Amino acid sequence: MPKVTRFTLSIAHINDTHSHFEPTPVSLSVKGQENRVYATSGGFARIKTVATQFRENAEREGNAFLFLHAGDCFQGTLYYNLFKGDANAKLLNMLDLDAMALGNHELDLGNAAVSKFLDHISFPLLAGNWDVSQEIQNKPCPLKGKPLLYDFDTQEQRAKVLVKTFGDHQVAIFGVSIDKMAQIAMPDADTPFLESKMVVLNTIAHIRDTLGINNIVLLSHLGYDQDLKMAEEVEGLSVVVGGHSHVLQGDFSNIGLGNSEPYGRKINNTLVVQAGCHALAIGKLDVTLNSDGSVLSHTGDNYLMLGRGLALDASWDVALDEHDFDAAKLYLAEQSNVLHCRGNKDVKALLNTEYRPAVLVMRSDVVTILSDRLRHVRVPDEKGPSQIAPLVCEGLLYSANIRGHGVDFAIHNAGGVRVSLEAGKLTAADVAGRLLPFAIDLMVYEPTGAQVKAALEGAINNATNNGVEGTGNGSFPYTAGLRYTYECGKPEGQRITQLQHQLVSGEWRDVEPGKIYRAVSSAYTSQGKEGYDALKNLGTQPVSIGVILSDSFIEYARANDNLRAPKDTLQHYVPCAESK
């Protein structure tokens, strides 16, 4: 048995990197200067440099060291749209991670993408509440038996555990992901996710009673509030390293980025940490643990990783004058939560030779002109609904029908559209990298009118928490060729008070409950996720049209010399305060 004396563990951590391999522009305030300045932060080359320094410092100080990723590396940028999990696998391998949690976006394209990812990574993928034991045999891309998948142990009803030994000390690490994974992602039906708290309790008991280890790290992709709740309700965890919520802990008010949460929230005897998103920051925790695994003391912070450049705009067209540049550089160099570093040359070389050239082509490919700014909101507000989401739906309809699918209307969830768009040139990179970064197939399906009505109401109930505990406002439905009115204050099942579809002639007709229609949506929506439950029981299975979201909009944009906000509003949302 190892000795059970107190010791210090250093943990570097990142989460929700979402394929942001390159540094990202950030707007910072600098004391003494009227205008904010732009710098670039993060990216995988800088993360590699800083994590290597952290590891070397820990070794020099005689501390144990772990480098952990709390999940969601897939999706997010052109790099994922173009290269899927291949680029993530190669670049994450170069970071020398000790382990990564499974995020929900790793399952946006089903289990096969995770299986392929596991075949190419060199670190454990922790998913302790994922039960793959009943996986259907002879799948082309199976998960069961993959040595780097630390999934649910059905025999002992616990997570599989990664044990790291540091001299006389041992640390046990396991991971859990969102319980309701099937509601927000696309795991195969034969591989369910189990209730995380039960798995955590059982796994802690195994680690302490069977393995005799008290130093326990939970690598979590549950979300920040759930991490705090877990620390409150469960004894025996030393540290929770979390993701999913994109919470940047730490006081960044010194550079104009706010101060939402202290770094390292201590709940009872457990520390909870999270490091923002998009590879902008890296967390570094030094925690001294008592012999029982509880936290004695801790220090640390999240750190931005800046390069040498500064400008007055995000596109680097407007430079600072020499005096302001020097003053800004000096001020930023004095900030304890800002690191200035050069990116690792090997990571840069891989990115620049294998992946970046294809991205640069898309950045120069102008697909249309936007006459005005197009605003995006998820749920309509006092200024109205999204101006861009209905155009995305027009793109879905366009792509389906030029392929001969004879679709009546399109439905798309608001959360699949990520940004507003400024007037001017719109490039393929803007669409695939910013507007519609989720590389998800479009599906044609055949619902009845009654199913369409129920799906729309269910999605809006979910988005607005109207009578249900929703999964987020991203489920709010936007449409093309279909218009509706939703009245919040009506009884459940009666909130869609108008529902019509548009004929080719332009005429609007009421949707008939018993009639079968042809619709197009993302694979995510067509399978009944996040309130669209009525679409789970279609008479026939949805069929892919062989196009992903971003490519659909690019096709539609190329067919139009310019794009403007829709003249007519098809989504009429009446909030409860106004509904009679």
What is the tens place of the pLDDT at every residue in 426-474?
A: 999 999 999 999 889 999 999 999 999 999 999 999 999 999 988 889 9
- The answer to whether residue 1 sits within a structural domain is no
The DSSP bridge pattern shows strands 64-69 and 158-159 to be unpaired
Residues 114 and 74 reside in one and the same domain: yes
Q: How do residues 406-419 score in pLDDT, each as one tens digit?
A: 999 999 999 999 99
Residues 519 and 377 reside in one and the same domain: yes
- The answer to whether residue 383 sits within a structural domain is yes
At 442, phi and psi to the nearest 5? -95, 140
Residues 337 and 410 reside in one and the same domain: no
What is residue 571's predicted lDDT score, i.e. its pLDDT?
Answer: 96
Q: Beta partners for 302?
A: 283
What is residue 578's predicted lDDT score, i.e. its pLDDT?
Answer: 62
Separation between Cα atoms, residue 480 and residue 409, nearest integer Å: 6
Q: Beta partners for 478?
A: 412
Average pLDDT value for the chain: 95
- The answer to whether residue 168 sits within a structural domain is yes
Q: Which two tokens stand for residue 549?
A: 């979201």
Residues 28 and 104 reside in one and the same domain: yes
Mean pLDDT within 364-376: 95
Separation between Cα atoms, residue 320 and residue 328, nearest integer Å: 9
Mean pLDDT within 286-303: 96
Single residue among 324, 359, 394 that ends a domain in this structure: 359
Place of tokens 């540290």: 239
Could you give the C-alpha distances from 554 to 406, 437, 439, 444, in angstroms and in order?
A: 20, 12, 13, 19
Q: How do residues 530-540 score in pLDDT, each as one tens digit?
A: 999 999 999 99
pTM here is 0.88
For residues 132, 136, 137 and 141, what is the CA-based torsion angle, rounded to 10 degrees?
A: -70
Helices (H), ranges, 130-212: 181-184, 196-206
Single residue among 298, 327, 359 that ends a domain in this structure: 359
Q: How do residues 260-278 score in pLDDT, each as one tens digit?
A: 899 999 999 999 999 999 9
Residue 579 has pLDDT above 60, yes or no: no
CA 172 to centroid of chain Cα atoms: 26
Residues whose CB is less than 8 angstroms from the CB of residue 447 and which lie 6 or more positions away in sequence, other chains included: 455, 516, 517, 519, 534, 535, 538
What is residue 462's predicted lDDT score, i.e. its pLDDT?
Answer: 95
Helices (H), ranges, 216-355: 224-233, 322-333, 345-350
- The answer to whether residue 121 sits within a structural domain is yes
Residues 468 and 410 reside in one and the same domain: yes
- The answer to whether residue 514 sits within a structural domain is yes
88: left (phi over 0), alpha (psi -120 to 50) or beta: alpha
Separation between Cα atoms, residue 106 and residue 98, nearest integer Å: 18
Q: Which amino acid is at 125?
A: L
Residues 446 and 523 reside in one and the same domain: yes
Mean pLDDT within 138-164: 97
Separation between Cα atoms, residue 535 and residue 531, nearest integer Å: 9
Q: Which two tokens stand for residue 349?
A: 């070389």
What is residue 260's predicted lDDT score, i.e. its pLDDT?
Answer: 83
What is residue 96's predicted lDDT score, i.e. its pLDDT?
Answer: 98
Residues 481 and 337 reside in one and the same domain: no
- The answer to whether residue 290 sits within a structural domain is yes
- Nearest in space to 369 (alpha carbons), one of 424, 422, 433, 420: 424
Residues 311 and 433 reside in one and the same domain: no
Per residue in 436-447, is it b (16+ CB within 10 Å) or e — as a string? bbbbbbbbbbbb
- The answer to whether residue 536 sits within a structural domain is yes
What is residue 577's predicted lDDT score, i.e. its pLDDT?
Answer: 75
Residues 344 and 370 reside in one and the same domain: no
What is residue 45's predicted lDDT score, i.e. its pLDDT?
Answer: 98
**Domain containing 390: what range?**
366-574
Residues 351 and 407 reside in one and the same domain: no
8 and 286 in contact (C-beta within 8 Å)?
yes
What is residue 2's predicted lDDT score, i.e. its pLDDT?
Answer: 44
For residue 3, name the pLDDT band (cuts at 50, 70, 90). Answer: very low
Q: What is the DSSP letter of 485?
A: E
Residues 396 and 504 reside in one and the same domain: yes
Q: What is the CA radius of gyration of the chain?
A: 25
Place of tokens 């003391």: 297
351 and 53 in contact (C-beta within 8 Å)?
no
Residue 1 has pLDDT above 90, yes or no: no
Residue 580 has pLDDT above 60, yes or no: no
Quickly count helices (H) and strands (E) in the chain.
15, 30
For residue 319, name the pLDDT band (cuts at 50, 70, 90). Answer: confident
Q: How do residues 182-198 score in pLDDT, each as one tens digit?
A: 988 999 999 999 999 99
Helices (H), ranges, 95-250: 111-118, 181-184, 196-206, 224-233
513 and 449 in contact (C-beta within 8 Å)?
yes
Question: What CATH number is associated with residue 535?
Answer: 3.90.780.10
Question: What CATH number is associated with residue 204?
Answer: 3.60.21.10
- Structural domains of the chain, count: 2
Residues 371 and 354 reside in one and the same domain: no
> What 3-state DSSP class applies to 2?
coil
| Other residues' Cβ atoms within 10 Å of the Cβ of residue 578 | 10
Mean pLDDT within 345-349: 98
Q: How do residues 24-76 score in pLDDT, each as one tens digit?
A: 999 999 998 888 999 999 999 999 999 999 999 999 999 999 999 999 999 99
At 354, phi and psi to the nearest 5? -95, -30
Q: Which two tokens stand for residue 343?
A: 């990116």
Strand residue runs (E) in 414-475: 424-427, 441-445
Residues whose CB is less than 8 angstroms from the CB of residue 362 and which lie 6 or more positions away in sequence, other chains included: 78, 82, 427, 428, 429, 432, 433
Identify the helix (H) or strand (E) that includes residue 548. strand 543-548
- Nearest in space to 222 (alpha carbons), one of 206, 205, 237: 237
Single residue among 317, 340, 359 that ends a domain in this structure: 359
Separation between Cα atoms, residue 247 and residue 501, nearest integer Å: 41
- The answer to whether residue 580 sits within a structural domain is no
For residue 385, name the pLDDT band (cuts at 50, 70, 90). Answer: very high
For residues 309, 310, 312 and 317, what is the CA-based torsion angle, rounded to 10 degrees?
A: -10
Could you give the C-alpha distances from 145 to 86, 119, 152, in angstroms and in order?
A: 21, 12, 12
